Amino acid sequence: MHKGSAASAPKKFLVHLTMAIIFILLFAFSSWLLWLTYFRDASQSEEALAKRAVSRQEMVYEPFHGAGDSVLEGGKSQSWCLKCHKDYSHSKSKEVRGILNAHSFFMACEVCHIVPKEGERFEYKWLGRSSNLPMTELKGKPGDYGGSIVPFRAEKGFAKRLDENAPANLLLDEAVTANLLPDESGKKGSTGDLQALRDRLNTEIHKDLSSKPVFCDKCHKENGMLDFAQLLYSPERAQRLEFGDGATIIKQYKEFYLPSLHDARRNQ
């Protein structure tokens, strides 16, 4: 019907070869898309599907209120700081206390409240809540992986857990005996001469703590204080913790401006 091309045989072969390779690549990609759409879910268990759904959701978006199970079930933190400071230990700043308290669900207080000295670098590990052993993978729902992030400092060739303080624990036992600690309603006991014990407690327990804790942007950035990939997070999750929306907000705003919903109405 039409005249043949004047192109040489090697050139023709090269064109046919290129078109064949492109065809194979496109065919493979199309087949993969069809498999994704119609067949991948059919060959997987309900559990695997649920796991992938969570994983994909982590990669794309993660509404803050979506990860609420750990809130409903309780963080199960074993930090002894909470004996005095209780569940909502961060209460000074109304604007950010919710975010800080949420972190205490899965982090030892010392992660933020013991700041490494200049040139010093702590090691951070997930320890299983029940086993107290380093975890090898993160299982479960975001926000409740069954463990806590704990800081370690290298001391005399050993890695020392910084969330353990034996002398302070002994003093705490004394404090319990003396009814010094606050009860569930937050009221402190009033029996006995307690000032001396209270002073010793404050000194001993807080001696390693930094006056200014680590701020959010020390961790939620590239090459920050926490290596999220080393902390067993998936590459996507690690990336999100470094560069995600929350991290971006932290980078851009040192001050949080919240709407004055009710105050404004009351003042009218």
Residues forming the site for another protein (CB under 8 A): 2-5, 7, 11-12, 15, 18-19, 22-23, 26, 29-30, 33-34, 36-37, 52, 55-56, 59-61, 63, 65-66, 229, 234-236, 238-239, 242-243, 245
Nearest-approach distance from CB 27 to another protein, in angstroms: 8
Instruction: Look up residue 172 and give its two tokens.
Output: 């705490």
Half-sphere exposure of 15 (CA within 13 A, CB side): 7
Q: How far is the CB of 2 from another protein (least distance, A)?
A: 4
Q: Which CB sits closer to another protein, 109 or 238?
A: 238
Minimum distance from residue 237 beta carbon to another protein (Å): 10
**Tokens 């074993």 appear where?**
78
Least Å distance between CB 59 and another protein?
A: 6
Beta carbon of residue 160, minimum distance to another protein (angstroms, whole number): 28
